[in-house]
Amino acid sequence: MQYLQHTLLCWVQKQDLQIRKMKLITEEVASVKFITEGKGAKKKMYIEGVFLQGEIKNRNGRMYPLNTLSREVNRYNESFVNKGRALGELGHPDGPTVNLDRVSHKIVSLRQEGNNFVGKAQLLETPMGKIAKSLISEGVTLGVSSRGVGSLKEDRSGMKVVGEDFMLATAADIVADPSAPDAFVSGIMEGKEWVWEGGSLREQLLEKTQKRINTLVDQKALEEHKLGLFQNFLSNL
């Protein structure tokens, strides 16, 4: 029993070393404006303003190194903006994946101006895009929130520095009341852990698997459940 436990735990730990653990990170920005271009059937509504900021401690106590943001924005522009697939959602998604049924806008440009990255996004004629337009027309104050995954390291001053592994999921989701403290959102979204492996992101399962192993060992039931543990883990890869 002890040998089996040791072997299984070693396997879990080995897998853990081969992947990168990352947190979901969101940053809300209130200083954006909503503009309308064109007339009649060609009338379009846009969001424009600073979507991302580097080299400054934000109100969440985090700082993005400019080199990290520049590299990631270049990748995002090349892979998403330039190909017309840089999408954002209405509300606070609970993961890094863009959900097509909640898409409200398309980011059409994202450029660097000093330490800031100024973006422009077109509101779409999707169900969520129409809701966003209606809210804006009724005078509701909205803002944007960037969304990505990465590791965090705390420096001597207590500031959390975003790691070089940061990956931008979307430059802007549309959110309500962007000036409000986001501790509630952080508690739900950033409490999750994601891993980057083989070119894709998924929720962290290794820690859950290891806890389950320890529980089964305490209950002297590991032998009976070991196959199920492996099958459950592999099915989520």
Choosing from 92, 104, 105, 146, the catalytic residue is 92
- 104 annotated active-site: no
The yes-or-no answer on residue 6 being catalytic is no
> Which one from 79, 145, 151, 186 is the annotated catalytic residue?
145
Give the per-residue SS3 of the chain.
CHHHHHHHHHHHHHHHHCCEEEEEEEEEECCEEEEEECCHHHCEEEEEEEEEECCCCCCCCEECCHHHHHHHHHHHHHHHHCCCCCEEEECCCCCCCCCHHHEEEEEEEEEEECCEEEEEEEECCCHHHHHHHHHHHCCCCEEEEEEEEECEEECCCCCEEECCCCEEEEEEEEEECCCCCCHHHHHHHCCCEEEEECCEEEECCHHHHHHHHHHHHHCCCHHHHHHHHHHHHHHCC
Catalytic residues, by residue number, are 92, 145
